[in-house]
Structure 1
């Protein structure tokens, strides 16, 4: 049965932004206003092929938006979610969509430096548009892509505080001139592929941690850490989870049935209850209160040597 926090929205417009990026506008079929969101928020979409994928909302949002707008890059080497969005979704398609959640919120600051890599522009665009619409100065953007043809919203970012860099013809942009001198008046927001996020994390090691905000759009590429033992509460089964294997994979290897979809920590399908032990959370979907007694098995692990887990029962399901 579907959670009451999910919405059934109709695609009112769809179109190509680049050869690989498609834009979708989602509205309530009855014309009702949608749940509020702020820049940095995402929704989880159930694709026609049955995948659950998280997509950032690319518009600034507000208290009563009429529509949710998201952009999806086709990834033929992925697990099928983006391909389904491109091939199976058209104007008139009805999609099941979660209410917005925000794990990448825009915090107040005198000045900002935004760094976007490829489709990582989606949450960054919402933030930049919100700030500039309010007349804010000191909003600088570094937008890194492979080529002009593969740059969504290219025409929007041609101002004096925008640097759009195409690595295909010029190599990678040297980020050190932008990050070498720490400044407590600047907040840095970076969203992009794991390599870019790792580079920004390394180059800002001398900054105050509170000034750096990072989001990978491929959360499944994290390095797994220490081994631990999982105890499956319903039958007491003890499952060894080695350093190279996720809890989800280890449980399945021992015959424990746990559903999954994205396997990147963004949809929450593989959520399990935590009954005892300490968790190292690495997902991008659970709230802090939800993390008290549950975890996402595809990316999160145990801090303790033993973790007792069991099936998760959604209290919102009737």
Structure 2
């Protein structure tokens, strides 16, 4: 007995005619008769009384009809639920902290405008923690900074930012410029000035008070990686998971911090912080949208991917996972 048998049986009951049921179902009369005969054979008893050209349910058939209607109703609900399944599940997005501060709110707003019925759940943590959540299937998509996770996941870069050194003007004038002038020994070309901006060698940082993000954050990783190339390991005076606390410490003249340029704009504009160049070093982080290789992309996930990438299709990204077309 199959759903097909029950559906044909129900239609025959309602039409009280094999011919009528065949017409309604766009089937041949022999096919309908055969399905009814198979069902009666499985029941071990006739389910209809034949009266002329009409057939009517007998008492045994009425019992089967009630059960069949219940089963078909449940089956119909299940079919509908399966069609709506992807739109009933929340989209779980993980984001590293800097992206959450400056890019994520706008992306989520655009997504909810386009997919209003889809719930969105957001987890914000360090890049390493978000990558771990993605590996453990605790989230569906990740927005993470840095290049160290590209081997683990299929990813699309969607934006980038510079990480710049920041300190108070007082700290620069009292510590950095005098030290730079002393190293240059009065030679204008070696004072470390470039287009009005102070330029320091990387090794000069090792003697300064450094206010740094925690290890494992994308900002700290890009700094440590660049210093490693200079054969340097910078000791931190402060370590914080909170960029705002590092900004406050830098504004108070307590040392040098390294943070995204987008985060520093207001403080550079009002003069509470200044920046300088590090000779031969540029710190930049790329922001990536990432999924594990082989992860199925639901329709909402695909919509978020296209929203983040500005609608541009990345064939390698889509080829990495089955996509609902």
More strand by share: 1
For Structure 1 versus Structure 2, the TM-score category normalised by the shorter chain is under 0.3
Could you state the TM-score of these two structures normalised by the residue count of structure 2?
0.25
Larger RCO (CA under 8 A, 6+ residues apart):
2
Could you state the TM-score of these two structures normalised by the residue count of structure 1?
0.25
